[in-house]
Chain A
């Protein structure tokens, strides 16, 4: 279907729901804890009992402001909550508290970088605060839908973009960036599979060069970033085909089918509810002062683009290294801790992106659960830096031991296991003499010009020293002796 791409262009916008990591719900003090037994984190307020009233969660407001500041949105001073009215089993009050005409954040942008290195700025329309509904579970009982109200009333942000996406790759890059951003800001765990990040896509196509937008289709139920990409690709082809056949694209809501990567019509947009939005009379307007915004600004953590600058400009790491480090907040956080204890930034970076990442990958664990404290890793780096250990001994013998036993001290362990590198020339001399004595023919070959044999001699010396010899020193001494 690649020929469509020459004739048509995609016009898509994304709506992302971000479940906030507040300790309590958006408008009540019920606990929020993903994975708790159904209907345990509930109260009369989140169940919409008669006479109960909402009280806004200040923390959710702080998080909304943080995201707005990170996206350089305008933060609204006077916020009015609104009610969105509709009936459903998982909506206890018969309405959702949200923001309608006065979102807390207006405008803003998120920078994305595509695989080929091109950058694009994704314009945001708005970010607003709202509460979540309960969770309807349709697949556990044949005859009934079950409802878990733990999620009812939890705090969400809805982030809406302008229709600026021209490819599924852009959407993919955007969602990856949003996920990373919310994790850096520590406002959401950003997990799409668990539903803490949810995305709906508004997708239309038009002939290249046309200014008028095509009919928009809303696609829901994509629970991973790659599914959003797939859904956009499927919709693009489907809509192009319809237009080619002279048929109409209907304005409708479609559901993504993960099983085969297609979308299926859910309901026509025309039949959709009139949500009867109106200002929430149970909550006075929320006033966000400039002073309050400054306070929140003080609490803002460093964001990936700031860290990139810092790593490349101040720590003089390569762009590649910096990118790998900031890719995950946890890795970057660990790095930040690590460089509090060592100024050998390059070594710190190499250890993290090499040995530590390799270990985590092999063990299949997240760096969150990495047991080795930065102080000890820094101490290990120091031992190598001071020439007391060779890197290979540090990486192969000491690092695994430290990881498996947090009580160990790197230096004590190295000493007690006789791993401290001996740069004593006599010791090395003896080993070298021994090795050279073992391979007289090779020595002759070396002397007649086969300089490549140096590696063999070094390897043999290292082996005899049980890894304690410093390869650099060995090399130097060997050259001295052989080139005499």
Chain B
């Protein structure tokens, strides 16, 4: 009798587990569908084209974020002309695998071409502890604005390029509008991203990308060319 009661109880647990898994799957599916339909609506509203699949030519852009992690998953592409520039916006998952477990981080990314051939440069929020350590131990790219150096960290193998790229006007714009975003530039591509945002928050992402590309100094193309020939 006791064994039978145990069996029934065990079966209930199995059923509960199945229901839970089904619920999570259905909820995830519903959320993905909701995001997809919101993005489709956004695309229509802003004259962009929606595609659930991100083509290979975007996936292989030379931007460091796109090759981070052990695996990358791309989806929900919006592309077209917005605010006077041709751009592409998509969701990107960076998957890190450690043994049998893995972690996934989702980002909202926007990329556009820039009128210069750039070295690889990354501009992101500064970490005060890392900054203190770097000042003592490592090399860093010096900038004239202490305020900028406290707020942002610039990674670039070519200091001269970093100085040309982040001029006082760019610094001023980043301090006013770039906080909370990460920027990467490589070749003739610029990327702006942050953790996955809701569809209605995509306009600030696109606007920030446009502002960033607008502020790339003219002298960068003068010094480094337009096509990587220099």
Answer yes or no: do A and B interact: no
